Structure 1
């Protein structure tokens, strides 16, 4: 494994432990030359998943898009990074457990909203307002009314 700091190929594993509910291995490594430490993750390569967007364009699944959406929704909310990572993993596990080669972005969006509703209601409303493209205050209020029930 190449050191991300100096580019040296000679690194050693200091610590290994299970990660992501035993679906990956987290390894702490140290460069033999510059002595800096970094973390790598090893996980099983899965079948590529294709996401079907609203406009029927297909693109490869990208975990970082889910993470970015949840991070934006939780901005300045009392939600820890660990909770965000857990939410992303829950959504990702649900998507991959469907065992489909193609999944619509609408399905993924609903999974994210379900998870955010349990995590933080303000984050849920933020995500829903962008995802469902609220056009006016009335649409926003309808969503809040559903949440309050």
Structure 2
């Protein structure tokens, strides 16, 4: 593992433990050249996936991109980071276990919406406003009304 401080190629693992949700391994490392300490995380990746964007363009699936979108929707909602991490890991696992190597961005967006719907209604509406490209206040009103109606059923 390359040192983020000096770029040296070798580092020594000082401590290894599973993350709280068990989906990754957290490793504390020390650079053999400069002595700097840093943390890395290892996750299981079942398969390489390509995302097919709405315009037909293809790009590799990036967990970090999905993580950032979900974190932005959940910002200032008081949700524990572990809950968000579990949601991201669950969605990634769900996508990987389909067996498909190509997945549409729409399918990812819908999976995120489903997950956020159960996690936090405000984060759900925030994400939907970007994903569904709300352009007017009435778009929010209509969508929020449908969220309210779901809770009554």
Aligned to 2:60: 60
Question: What's the C-alpha RMSD, in Å, of the aligned pairs?
Answer: 2.1
Aligned to 1:138: 138
Contact 1:20 1:89 in 2 (8 A): no
Aligned to 2:108: 108
Aligned to 1:7: 7
Q: Which range moved further: 78-87 or 104-113?
A: 78-87
Contact 1:2 1:11 in 2 (8 A): yes
How far the C-alpha of 1:47 sits from its partner, in A, is 2.8
Unaligned runs of 5+ in 2: none
Q: How many residues align?
A: 149
Residue 50 of structure 1 pairs with residue 56 of structure 2: no
Alpha-carbon distance between aligned partners in 2 of 1:65 and 1:99, rounded to the nearest angstrom: 21
SS at match of 1:56: coil
Distance 1:90 1:133, change over 3 A: same
SS at match of 2:4: coil
Alpha-carbon distance between aligned partners in 2 of 1:116 and 1:83, rounded to the nearest angstrom: 11
Contact 2:21 2:86 in 1 (8 A): no
Contact 2:47 2:96 in 1 (8 A): no
1:113-132 matches, within 5 Å, as 113-132=113-132
Contact 2:5 2:36 in 1 (8 A): yes
The TM-score normalised by the length of structure 1 is 0.86
Distance 1:98 1:21, change over 3 A: farther
Distance 1:50 1:9, change over 3 A: closer
Q: Which range moved further: 44-53 or 119-128?
A: 44-53
Q: Which range moved further: 47-56 or 32-41?
A: 32-41
Q: Which range moved further: 26-35 or 106-115?
A: 26-35
How far the C-alpha of 1:92 sits from its partner, in A, is 0.8
Contact 1:51 1:104 in 2 (8 A): yes
